[in-house]
Amino acid sequence: MKKAERTFIFFGLIGLCFFLFHGIDLAQAKDPDYPTKPINFYLGFGAGGTSDLACRASANAASKHLGQSFAFINKAGAGGSMATMAVITAKPDGYTLGGVISSSIIVPFFDESLYKDFSGLTMISNFGQFTNLVMVRADAPWKTWKELVEYARKNPNAVKIGITSAKVVSNPGFLMWQIEKKENIEFAYVPFKSSTEVLSAVAGGHVNMYASTVDASLMSWVKEGKLRLLAFMGTGKMPGYENLPSLQEMYGLLVPNVMGVWGPKGLPDYVVKKLDDAFAKAIKDPDFIGVMNQLQSPILYMNSAQMTKHIDDLFPKVGEKYKLLKAEEKAKEKK
């Protein structure tokens, strides 16, 4: 090969490298005025519940700093996995986001047919937490959590817990199962389609206990004297009920408790930063704070990096326990 040819190839390679590296920069700089149109926001749960209202409030507050509105799309079903798949398969241009909640962390363990982990997603930010409660009918014989546990120990499966969806799908079911292992007791689980159905079942005496996220309808039943609160599942507590025990603190439970936003894998850094900044400002918005106070949901902000680390640390720990739960449930089915 002649010297001139080698020189030509050498400088050609340098030019190619320059183009590739700066091509990445150009891709990152694309759409500098982002967002220039409304952003689709998928919600993997029904309209009007705590998760739905909190995500809408956060996104609406963030929209004030983005200059564009959000188009909310409720795509409930399969533990929220249908909405998550809509985000995973979306173009990573910043115009499709989704709400991530506590149950999102356990979905891959009961249904691996769609996705097995969160590698197809980009964490944007976490803006809050759920307040989770255990309650019984007001005239139930148990005045405290300790009394209920003692009764359950002497009467296996006599305490019937009403939960939305099945035990292996429900976050409260996952938490109550951990308590069964700690206390060496057995609860009976009765699945329902909605929290309204569970409340009616508790009121009618068809189930003894309800483990759930706080919402307005639930608290109205408490204020009307129809329900008695026994304990918080997590560490979050409500004003006026600080004396109730935290089951997470009492038993050292592993409690998935997230309330945030994610997008598809491959989102440009400038998009992630702009979204993260907007949601960081949203937590100080009076309208957002008002909604979270009404929902009795604590505000807890984590930026993109912090949220990614939190879920990366939490996911395998939940997975280890979930394998034990699934194995136990399969063994019961064979009997």
> Could you count the other beta carbons within 10 Å of the beta carbon of residue 157?
11
Cβ burial 125-136 (10 Å sphere, 16+ → b, else e) = bbbbbbbbbbbb
The pLDDT value recorded for residue 28 is 44
List the domain boundaries for the chain: 39-130+257-324, 132-255
pLDDT digits (tens, 9 = 90+) for 181-209: 999 999 999 988 777 888 889 988 899 99
State yes or no: pLDDT of 326 exceeds 90. Answer: no
Q: In a 3-state reduction of DSSP, which class is residue 78?
A: helix
List CB contacts of 106: < 8 A, sequence separation 6 or more: 79, 169, 171, 174, 256, 318, 322
- Average pLDDT in the chain: 87
How far apart CA 191 and CA 171 sit, in angstroms, is 12
- In which band, very low, low, confident or very high, does the pLDDT at 21 lie, cut at 50, 70 and 90? very low
pLDDT in tens, 105-116: 888 887 766 778
Instruction: Tell me the CA distances in angstroms from 262 to 140, 143, 265, 281, 332, one per residue in order.
Output: 42, 41, 9, 17, 36
CA–CA dist 158, 84 (Å, integer): 37
Query: Does 92 have pLDDT greater than 60?
Result: yes
- Enumerate residues 6+ apart whose C-beta is below 8 A from 264: 87, 88, 89, 90, 91, 92, 96, 120, 121, 122
Share of the chain above pLDDT 70, in %: 89
Residue carrying structure tokens 């590739």 = 20
- Residue 203: other Cβ atoms inside 10 A: 15
Compute the Cα dihedral for 243, 245, 250, 256 and give only its sign: negative
Residue 26 has pLDDT above 70, yes or no: no
Tens-digit pLDDT profile for residues 290-316? 999 988 899 999 999 999 999 999 999
Dist. CA 149–CA 163, nearest whole Å = 18
What token pair was written down for 305?
């990096």
* CATH code of domain 132-255: 3.40.190.10
Give pLDDT, residue 15: 46
Identify the residue with better confidence: 200 or 146: 146
Q: Grade residue 261 by pLDDT with cuts at 50, 70 and 90.
A: very high
18 pLDDT band, cuts 50/70/90, is very low
Structure confidence at residue 2 (pLDDT): 53
Helical (H) or strand (E) element with 123: strand 121-128
Give the pLDDT of residue 230.
Answer: 95
Residue 182: enclosing H or E segment and its boundaries? helix 171-183
The helices-and-strands tally (H runs, E runs) of the chain is: 12, 11
Please say whether the beta carbons of 158 and 151 come within 8 A.
yes
Contact status, residue 263 vs residue 92, Cβ threshold 8 Å: yes
In this prediction, residue 215 carries a pLDDT of 76
Radius of gyration of the chain (CA): 24
Mean predicted confidence (pLDDT) in 221-248: 89
- Between CA 151 and CA 185 the distance in angstroms is 10
Work out whether strand 132-137 and strand 227-232 pair parallel, antiparallel, or are unpaired: antiparallel
Q: What angle do CA 144, 256, 311 make, to 5 degrees?
A: 160
The separation between the first and the last C-alpha atoms of the chain, rounded to the nearest angstrom, is 77
* CATH architecture group of domain 39-130+257-324: 3-Layer(aba) Sandwich (3.40)
Answer yes or no: same fold for 39-130+257-324 and 132-255.
Answer: yes
Global pTM value: 0.84
